[in-house]
Structure 1
Amino acid sequence: MVRRLLVGRGAVHARHAGRGLSQRSRERVRHDALGTARAGLYRLQALTDVPREFVDKYFLREGQTYRVRRELRKWCIFGRHDLTQDSPLSHIDLLVCRNVLIYFDGQLQERVLPRLQYAVRERGYLFLGKSESALARSRRFVPVDFKWRIFQRVTPPELTGKPVGVADEAPLRTGPRRPARTESPATPRVQGMIETLQSAVMVIGPTDTIVTWNPAAEQLFEIPTDGALGKKFRDLDISYRMEGLRSRVEEVKASLARTRIATVSLPRRSGDVLHVSVSIAPLFDDQRRLAGIMVTADDVSEQARLREEVNRISEQSATANEELQSTNEELETTNEELQSTNEELETTNEELQSTNEELETTVEELQSINAELATLNAELEKRTAELNRLDQLHQSVV
């Protein structure tokens, strides 16, 4: 049975779709692509190449869209994986990594191939792109169908007994594995302590079976203890109801290093959404072999609400400051305009005062002219009377 199926082609497509974008934009493209894959929701146009019987068997219609059935989605894990940096996964029956290696140079391919061998189980298969022939002379894989680039993993004699993919690529290791300081999950004392914890705790055994499920987990995940213990982790809806949980658990299994999800959304059956903080850590037995994975979760909805409230108040404060600054600038502009208007009015007043003084001078001149005209008029009247008297005298003489 195929345990896991890893598809590398979509990662390459997402990388080339992000060419010419900034690093933040490329990360957003990858995140959006993974989000679409996790949702499993497609329009009918996107399923034109899918046989109708597959659409009817594996999809459910939701309005104008089609969603992958739940029983199929729970078998799929979507996550970002760096072939050159992240710890390789393991025990994969079929690894599909098409059209990825062609973008690596020869040196990088030599570093990645041991990782691919480590990821595939013994006698497992690797499926490459038609243009990729990096394994043509490799001793780690033998061709099953070279035309379609299907190879089967083999272990060279000189690597027998060695941890394949680890000794060959020491420069790629991020650090030594440190076993978690914990007792076996089967210890009654530890089990009793877990039962009293306020944090939700579940322990996944080596066979992916739930071996520990405390009351806090029953309350937070809304799954009764009897419905969780002994069940496969992938069969519980919490494995995909909490986004990214399954992929993180697989990462811890591969790297044997603890990880943490600061905040992740947890939809409730009532329709509400909680914000949960999750820690995932490996558990080891006395021989330092992996004995299980412990997942602890805490409800941090109140902290998230307070954080959102603080952010909202900060945004409101920033907006108010911007509005006050804009108002202040407008007031300064208005004040400058008023000062300019005042200066113009003062200039106009000075001009009016100057005009008034000119008019007063003109009036005085007119008054002086009027006085002179009155004097001339009196003299004219006097001379007229004299002439009239002389005329009368002349008439009397004649």
Structure 2
Amino acid sequence: MSNSGNGRARPYQGLVVGLGASAGGLDALDRFFAAIEPLSNCAFVVIQHLAPEHKTMMDTLLGRHTQMPVQVATHDMPLGGGHVYVIPPNSVMTVEDGRLKLVPRAATGVTLPINVFFESLASDAVGRAIGIVMSGTGSDGSAGVVALAGAGAWVMAQDPDSCRFDGMPRSAIATGAVDHVLAPEGLAKEVTGLATNWSGPDSSALTHARIFAERDGMEQALRLLAGTMRIDFSEYKSKTLLRRIERRMNATGFRGIAAYSDYVASHPDEVLALRHELLIPVSAFFRDRDAFNSLSENVLRPLLEERRSGDATPLRFWITACSTGEEAYSIAMLTLHLMEEIGVEVPLKIFATDVEPEYVNRAAHGKYPSAQMAGLPEGYHERWFQPAGEGIWQVIPRLRQQIVFSRHDLLADAPFTQMDLVSCRNMLIYLRPDAQQRVLRRLAYGLKAGGSLFLGSSETPGELAGDHTALDNRHRIYKLNRRIQRLSPDDLLSGGDGRGRRALFSDAGGEGGKGAHGFQGAVDALMEAYVPPSVLIDADRSVLHMFGDIQRYLRFKGHSPTLDILQLLPKTAAPIVATLLHSAARDKSLQRSRPLPIDWGTGALEETFHVTVRPLDTDSVRVSRLIVSFEPVQREAVHEARILDDEAIVRMSSKHVADLERELELTRANLQDSIQELGTANEELQASNEELMASNEELQSTNEELQSVNEELHTVNAEFQSKISQLNDVNADLESLTRAARIPLVFLDEDLCVTRFTPQAVSLFQLRPGDIGRPITDLNHILDFPDIYDRVREGLEAAASYQTEVTDRSGGQWLVTILPYTPRGGKGAKVVMSFIDLSSVKDVRWLQNILNALPENVAVLDTYGVILRTNRAWDDFCLRNGGTLGASGQGANYLAACRSAAASDAYARQAYEGLLALLEGRIPHFSLLYPCHSADEHRWFLLNAAALQGGGCVITHFNMTGWIDPNRVDAEGGARGG
């Protein structure tokens, strides 16, 4: 590994596999690592929910199942291939420049460490990331896999059937961003395949070069996808297609596009995988909150304010590329919220479309994991969603009823019209520039004059900017200045056909020149003169486009608009048209009705017409487009029919009967198909019943697991009982200790409420057993300490002890100590107040003062001759004569000092023998007159010693120099005992 200029190692460039797990995840991780061989180009990072106060043993446990080194991550640790890294407890981990970064876990709130790591991995290891969600409860990881999928990473989840807890995998799968759902062993195999076929971070350009070299294979793959997916991917940017196709080639082990194209043609499951790869849903509620706030103030609020005057015109919104529906529901919630705020109720109809039927189906169900609720404004989650399972929320019926979800291809299908708002966010960026402009023209055609266009942050109206006014240029919200009356055939056709048409127009004078406008005018004139009023519909009977004056034949009814053609026709014509549609789709041939009257229930027959149904894609397995034409019957023909002879009338009647019989046969065939469909539905219901029975068995299994958990709870309860017994013993010990100490003690909590007190404290604070839990400030005390409670509060705030001496009302002295403390676990500070009676200490001080007043040198010895106390005269004499208090003061052994001097001094020997006899109780008192000369003076001292009751003695040294005759002392001096 080379070093950069600053001396730091080059960031890790291999694959990074992030494994998120929670409850039950240890078993899944063990199985995964036991099934995978060491991979030198993969770094594995394990993110698990760990208790913050416990040291992790995950590195040791995983190390038993893999040959790769396993270590607990530290801050700024570099990633390395063939290593396993485990998140430490009480930390949130991210990856930046190939190095692991750690920050402390938040003390409050919900922490989702898997989401945090996956989102950082999505931005740091583009093209090199693999995200895996394993066993666990909740929805952590769901938002992370969406971010990974959006960055082109491989995303996998553990099969819920193999999980001990399937909440996290199911939530991740529900996002639609998961590529593979496998057991841990299957996940290990898939990662091994990806790592084996992955040729490094610089392989993309090489793969692209190979793909361009095999252009025929590329076109074959795109044609195959267009046929199976009904999507023309030739209009998408080539880099986007190449990046997505390359991922599937790496995953399946193919190095050439031609071979991969053949593999796709023979494996329907790979078609679904590639379709999923190319159409990854990237959506979120209120994505870019500021943009939605701007939409609310600049578009929605003015629309609702206009209708306060009583205008009941319905609001019509079209949300294109709606993915799994989050944006459509966001705009619906925002609009309904504004209606209540402004005080106006307007019919609202939102058309939400996407090219992928699977996403449309999921959007229609309106179910989302808890992780996707994070983007909702405050209060929206509880109001607009209801629980639909563990960690799953579903939109309420009122919100769902505002939206019609349907499949629609912006590049191929005719646009919706007369819209107040069209949203197309972050979809145009995937298309070629010419396709972007064609879609923008379709979107503008779908708007009313004054309607608004809502685009993504990187999108603009382009060459149509002159037709729009920017309401908020930063957030890409525009207002259409004038209604676009028609679209060119180029804009109405799909991408493939459009290119042929564009070439044709270019031959006529160039696109945008006179030739193009002349040709368009000719087409319009011919359509108006010769083309009957017609409607283009899809296989679901939804109207895609209308040609000519169609208003006489179709009408919207009621307050719930629908695009189903059968709901728009007169009641007398709808059954016949339904039969014609069924027959045309089944036989793939033109179908024509008998003359039908236009009867809207007014009693007047306005006109008679034929209905003709033409299937368009007759070469496909399933007819997906049909044209329904309404051909008026000429009045002359009606008049001539009235004057026909009887034979002609009979012939017409026979023809009419034949038509009726034919329609009856078609109706019978339709009924038979319905019966078969009902039989199929019945079989599906039976299968569902079997699934419910299986679910019942699973519930029984779950009940057994709950019984096992109950047993575990009994075990935990027994442990708690043992802990409680130990706590009771400790509490009893504490009670005995406080009673034996016989010291007044008062325990308070952080609110100064009494939690415990000793009997000796009763006299100080007039306490009673019922005062437990009562604020101490409510009680009187006998101490001369008026600010005692202020001192307690200061001690709690500063966490510092306080000590002082005070008196009580009777003159007694007390040493008051205020000591704050924090119980184990750190839950709230407490304080203990102790009170020590200083009366005995006062007596000792008084005695000391008396001793200090005596002129004699006085000392008190214990039974071993150790000096217990001295007076001031003793200490001063010791210091004046060159001695130290350490040798002759308190704590020194006076008897031992006399014994040491006895060998060379007769007076010292007499003092030692006399004091020893005194201390041993052989004599009651002892006296000795001895010399203590200094350099400039002859001095004589009288030593008196008297025994103390209980042991020990008191001795005095009195200076006798001025009171005695030195000559006589020398003749008569000595010791006296008795």
TM-score class, shorter: 0.3 to 0.5
- Taking structure 2 as the reference length, the TM-score comes to 0.19
Q: Which of the two has higher C-alpha Rg?
A: 2
Structure with higher helix content: 1
Structure with bigger RCO (C-alpha 8 Å, 6+ apart) = 1
User: Structure 1-normalised TM-score?
Assistant: 0.42
